[in-house]
Structure 1
Amino acid sequence: YILRHRNPGRTEEKAHPVLLSIMPETYGVMVYQEDVIKVAHHFADLDLGEADVLRRGMSGKFRSREEFQKVKDKFIDNCRRKGESDYVIFEIWEQIASFAGYAFAKGHSASYAVESYQTLFLRAYFPLEYMVAVLNNGGGFYRPEFYVHEVRMLGGTVHPPCVNRSHYANAIYGTDVFIGFGFLRELESRVVERILKERASNGSFLSLEDFLDRVLISVEQVDVLIRINAFRFTNINKHELLWKAYFFLSKGKKIDHPKLFAPKHQDFKIPELYTTHLEMAFTQLELLGFCLCSPFELLIEPPKNSRGSKDLEKYLGHHIDIYGYLVTVKNTSTHNGKRMYFATLVDQHGQVFDTVLFPPVAAKYNFRGKGIYRFYGKVVSEFGFLSIEVIKMQKQDYVQDPRYADMKTSTKVFENKKAEAKANRIS
């Protein structure tokens, strides 16, 4: 269909006259499910009932039915009687067989077209709101992090969850998008309900202590909120907040009723603490499943070049060395059963590009999960669409998670401080 649409004269050269007369608007190519019925009726002289048996049989459920075989035999006999060659008969039959199993009815296709244009309007004129709605609807074909990435590319600022601004779903305020509590894998839904109910009834939380006085929550759950930096409005380092929370709540101890009066809180002297950018990124990876910074910032060795999707046209017909963060991989097989890959990636500038690994290359290299890959390959074009035929590929290493670089030392210090705090309370 595309080739005939793009190349005047190809339709008359390739299309069977009968098929072209049946389907002139699609250049003699079957596009809609009804086209199967048209071809069977007008080309093979089957009646409409027999043509519909053919259409239903092509779906796969009825292939073994005797009635379907009878219709197939009649299709072939009628075409031979009309003087069509076996080459043409079986070529058209194969087109029907390969097409009918996944074809849509024209009305179904039209309704999807209408919905697509409506969606395109929202995407064009309300891009941030649209992307937040897609995320709140459970995402789509891609992982949620790529819709979050698209929000940033569209000019939005993405914030991690906040106890004063976030809801269960993602929330948008102008160009600010706050990740919803629902994205925190370890946060219980009942805790979210308590936070939202208390905030709606009595206003925003003023401090960590104010939050703990008003919301029934375990130390494990408040730990999740602090680690994701949901109390950043206090301007207190999250490590210091964790100390405060552990002093405030005895681990494992739960209060089964709200407090009538806010108690006095003992002020403990806590050493100066700080949080690194890398630590925050790895915490987000753990709790959200993705980080809110560029994954290229996590590489041990920075990329050796800055080439991206924008450079593909310049390298058309030539080889390119490029880095990309994996979006998705499609595994497929050639007609002789050999494995090959199609992969979509995001470059260092946030733009998308596509790669192809043909069987000889796919036999040497595998995609080993999420991460950044370096590619060397040839830039090619098909219908004006640029992609890279990969020759070599290598996955790049992330830096070590700084939170666990000195785990034994930090744990020992933390336990010592807890014991000291307990002694102070007893005294």
Structure 2
Amino acid sequence: MEITSNTYLSLLQIASKMAGFTLGEADLLRRAVSKKQKDVLEKEKVHFVKGAQRKGYHEKTANEIYELIVRFANYGFNRSHAVAYSMIAYQLAYLKANYPLYFMAALLTSSIGNTGKILQYIQELKQMNIELSPPSINQSHYFFRVEKNKIRYSLVAIKGIGGNVMREILKARNQKKFEDLFDFCIRVSPKIMNRKVMEMLIYSGSFDEFGEDRATLLASIDVAIQHAQLVHPEDEEQNDLFSEDDFFFKPKYVEVEPLKVEDKLALEKDALGFYLSDHPVSIYKHHQAALQTTPINEMELNKKQRSIVYITELSAIRTKKGEPMAFIQLSDQSGDVQGVVFPIVFKKYQDLLTPGEMVYLEGKCEERNGNKQLVIQIVESMGTIVQSLPKKEHKLFIKVMNEEKMLNQKVKLLSIMRDFPGNTPVIIHYEETGKNIVLNEEYKISPSKECIAELSALLGAEQVILAE
């Protein structure tokens, strides 16, 4: 036979000339090979061998040839497709290597609506040391865009923010940037911007640049909407005397207690599908080395794992024997994984397995339905684990939104520090910029319970963190 090509065409020729297949039958075989339909390939084997024997070929030879056809199904690919895909792969690799910021921004934009893919690419950004800036009402666009050496999060990637909302925001923003929540409500049509959309923007951190805690922004939505209705009763165009900004007194924000970190992050996850600004587990990251823990996305199959995780969901069920067990959803900064707690372990640790709790786990990573699953063997509360670790030099972190907020509390804060002198350094962490400021030696403190209590009363318990 003169069959020298190594494409699917040669497969048609082999089936036709060697086994006597009609072109229609040969094409069915080709289709089974291209789609890797093993059940069809197994069925056609008998047909092929018998046809080859009728053509005078030995049964052993026919079987060997057919085995080569089946093996080809495992890796064979249409040559014209292979050339096209290889060219695309080369071009994409070139862009990623030479223009990583723009490449990753385009990749993220193409994944809007697919939370899993966006989270996957965010993990890759971290590996590439590319910073992803949070969504901003004054900076974000339809797409993920490059800003200097960072990528700015898209507003459209926030839950509930569609094209109509984005167009309305851009229309108003093109005139000038939004100054605060009240300015935003005045300038963006209430026909498009309803309460639910505003909540999602706040949850996501898009209004953080206004310098107010998200709890305050949420509490002020009704006041802002009422103020906008007063300025524009019929949502009229801003072109008359009564639409001048300085004609109406601007209301004040409704001051409320700041959101707890875990509540803030839970709402952020509702809006984005994952934690972006931080993760509840991050407050224990300085213990990871001592505990030899592994991030979720680095867990290896069939190996024992240790991890610090946040319990997001728990589903308790009963086995056929009536024994309680549970499936739990776990997360950390790197991703999510399902955990399974069998009856004996569940009975021992069920008091610790509560949604919203951070725990230390030990278990074996296995595969179930193509996904990783952690079979949990040991559970400990993080409070117990931290107390059991060797004591090291502490540092006191004080988290504030920005420098303006710091100025408002500076006098009282310094007064408390002077009342509790000691050897523990104090670090001010500005959440808006991520900047850390280490205070002078004279402000080192003794972090007693009384000291921490006074600082927490001033700033909020979640803003004061004593770390090693």
> Same fold judged by TM-score > 0.5?
yes
Deviating more after overlay: 280-289 vs 136-145 = 136-145
Offset of residue 220 of structure 1: 3.5
Match of 2:210 among 234, 250, 259: 234
SS at match of 2:146: strand
- 2:131 corresponds to which residue? 157
- 1:332 corresponds to which residue? none
SS at match of 2:226: coil
Conservation of the 8 A alpha-carbon contact between 2:133 and 2:150: yes
| Structural mapping, 1:168-207, within 5 Å | 168-200=142-174, 202-207=175-180
Give the 3 Å change call, closer, same or farther, for CA 54–186 of structure 1 in structure 2: closer
SS at match of 1:183: coil
* Aligned-partner Cα distance in 2 for 1:148–1:120: 18
Offset of residue 38 of structure 1: 5.3
1:87-130 C-alpha deviation (Å, 9 max, x unpaired): x4235435536755995311111211111111111222222321
Offset of residue 287 of structure 1: 0.7
Q: Which amino acid aligns with 1:265?
A: F
Give the 3 Å change call, closer, same or farther, for CA 398–244 of structure 1 in structure 2: farther
1:261 paired with 2:244, answer: yes
- 1:403 corresponds to which residue? none
Q: Which amino acid aligns with 2:235?
A: D
Q: Which amino acid aligns with 2:236?
A: H
Match of 1:284 among 246, 264, 268: 268
* Aligned-partner Cα distance in 1 for 2:379–2:71: 41
Offset of residue 33 of structure 1: 2.9
Give the 3 Å change call, closer, same or farther, for CA 241–296 of structure 1 in structure 2: closer
Conservation of the 8 A alpha-carbon contact between 1:225 and 1:231: yes
Conservation of the 8 A alpha-carbon contact between 2:296 and 2:331: yes
SS at match of 2:186: helix
Give the 3 Å change call, closer, same or farther, for CA 47–223 of structure 1 in structure 2: closer
Conservation of the 8 A alpha-carbon contact between 1:299 and 1:396: no
* Aligned-partner Cα distance in 1 for 2:189–2:378: 45
Aligned positions, number = 321
- 2:348 corresponds to which residue? none
| Structural mapping, 1:118-133, within 5 Å | 118-133=91-106
Give the 3 Å change call, closer, same or farther, for CA 276–71 of structure 1 in structure 2: closer
Conservation of the 8 A alpha-carbon contact between 1:307 and 1:322: yes
- TM-score, with length taken from structure 2: 0.53
Give the 3 Å change call, closer, same or farther, for CA 208–295 of structure 1 in structure 2: closer
- 1:55 corresponds to which residue? 30
SS at match of 1:144: helix
Conservation of the 8 A alpha-carbon contact between 1:207 and 1:234: yes
Conservation of the 8 A alpha-carbon contact between 1:298 and 1:398: no
Structure 1: runs of 5+ lacking an equivalent: 1-17, 24-29, 327-345, 358-370, 379-387, 400-427
Give the 3 Å change call, closer, same or farther, for CA 187–395 of structure 1 in structure 2: farther
Offset of residue 255 of structure 1: 4.4
| Structural mapping, 1:97-116, within 5 Å | 103-116=76-89
* Aligned-partner Cα distance in 2 for 1:111–1:180: 31
- TM-score, with length taken from structure 1: 0.58
Select the structure that is richer in strand: 2
- 1:424 corresponds to which residue? none
Q: Which amino acid aligns with 2:128?
A: L
SS at match of 1:143: helix
- 1:376 corresponds to which residue? 364
* Aligned-partner Cα distance in 2 for 1:92–1:204: 71
* Aligned-partner Cα distance in 2 for 1:242–1:311: 37
Offset of residue 199 of structure 1: 1.3
Offset of residue 291 of structure 1: 0.9
Offset of residue 167 of structure 1: 0.9
SS at match of 1:226: helix
| Percent of aligned positions that are identical | 19
SS at match of 2:276: coil
